[in-house]
Amino acid sequence: MTDDRTPVLRRPLGRLDRLGLLLAAPLLLTACGGGDGDEPEQVSADTVETPEVGLCRVLGPSDVAEPSNSTAPVDCAERHTAETFAVGPLPDRFTDAAYDSPDLGAFAYKTCGRAFGRFVGGDESRVMRSTVSWAWFRPSEDAWEQGARWYRCDAVGGGVTGEAYVDLPETAEGLLAGVPQDRWTVCADGPTVSEGEKVACTEPHTWRAVSTVPVGEDDDPWPGDRVVEVTSRDACSSQVGALLGYPLDYEFGWTAFGEGQWEAGNRRSICWARTDS
């Protein structure tokens, strides 16, 4: 888990809370999927060949927690929680890289993250505030030893904080284009953002993720927790205030990410507004 923070402030009084989020993903949603709970079929974990784009699978949090995945594809017209949207060979600089090299995570964050935005039709801000996320996989350790060097990016329905993911439509392509449905937009229900359960905005909620704000440039070194928190607080205060028409009193929150996500390439924080709709 990263050292992510979600301070929540009622203007002008404030308090600091904490929230942990997974590296290299948008805000994560606790959700339940359909199905009978059967374990999905497995295929060889040691395949050297590059995977195919467009295949669907039934994945859960335990699958996404692993560096490689051997779950057999299913018909995309049937129930599924994941869809492969990008694959490819790893750059030559990873030919002699260790299997668990941190540079692989940074490469995946940029490569899969950018491809995911194009696939679902949302910019970085929209993606970070959605209830769909992505996961990436590399070859198994045995296949890696045999010289396999590829990556696989999967769109997943929901996040990894719950026991299951939500089912995706037949394809997730264009899911966030235009004005996304509330079922694909993240909200929170609780007294503060960090204490609240993350839900789709179709569910009862007290907080809505309304925007994201930049907290640094691509080439900037990690400025430290305090700088990121203060920058996030001030920028989200302005953003939420503007969205609400600058009322005298309003509640807002922010999710500021830690050094791990900074090193992976994330330079944005999420702004939340207190709302009942």
Q: Give me the residue label for tokens 């060979």.
A: 89
161 or 180: whose pLDDT is higher? 180
Bridge partners (DSSP) listed for residue 130: 185
pLDDT the model gives residue 248? 85
First-residue to last-residue Cα distance in the chain: 30
pLDDT the model gives residue 254? 92
pLDDT the model gives residue 141? 94
pLDDT digits (tens, 9 = 90+) for 241-264: 998 888 888 999 999 999 988 887
H-run or E-run covering 212: strand 207-214
Asked which of 2-16, 54-68, 231-245 is least confident by mean pLDDT, the reply is: 2-16
For residue 126, the number of C-alpha atoms closer than 13 Å in the C-beta half-sphere is: 19
Q: With bands split at pLDDT 50, 70 and 90, how would you rate the model's confidence at 9?
A: very low
pLDDT digits (tens, 9 = 90+) for 75-126: 999 999 999 999 999 999 999 999 999 899 889 989 999 999 999 999 989 9
What is the percent of the chain where pLDDT is above 90? 60
pLDDT the model gives residue 197? 86
Q: Considering the entire predicted model, what is its pTM?
A: 0.78
| Phi, then psi, of 36 in degrees rounded to 5 | -100, 5
Arithmetic mean of pLDDT, 169-184: 93
CB atoms within 10 A of CB 190: 15
Any idea of the CA torsion for 243, 185, 87, 55, to the nearest 10 degrees? -160
By DSSP bridging, strand 82-89 and strand 56-57 are antiparallel
Whether the pLDDT of residue 272 is over 70: the answer is yes
What is the percent of the chain where pLDDT is above 70? 81
pLDDT digits (tens, 9 = 90+) for 132-157: 999 999 999 999 999 999 999 999 99
pLDDT the model gives residue 196? 84
Cβ proximity of 266 and 217 under 8 Å: no
Q: Which long-range contacts (CB under 8 A, 24 or more apart) does 229-237 make?
A: 229/5, 229/7, 229/256, 231/269, 232/7, 232/256, 232/269, 232/271, 233/7, 233/9, 233/14, 235/269, 235/271, 236/211, 236/269, 236/271, 236/272, 237/9, 237/11
Cβ proximity of 135 and 59 under 8 Å: yes
Whether the pLDDT of residue 229 is over 90: the answer is yes
The amino acid occupying position 120 is V
Q: Give me the residue label for tokens 């990556």.
A: 151
Arithmetic mean of pLDDT, 3-21: 32
Q: With bands split at pLDDT 50, 70 and 90, how would you rate the model's confidence at 10?
A: very low
pLDDT the model gives residue 48? 77
Arithmetic mean of pLDDT, 144-172: 85
Whether the pLDDT of residue 45 is over 90: the answer is no
Which range, 164-168, 186-190, 212-216, has the best average confidence (pLDDT)?
212-216
pLDDT the model gives residue 163? 56
Q: CA 171 to CA 79: how far, in whole Å?
A: 11
Asked which of 28-32, 56-60, 251-255 is least confident by mean pLDDT, the reply is: 28-32
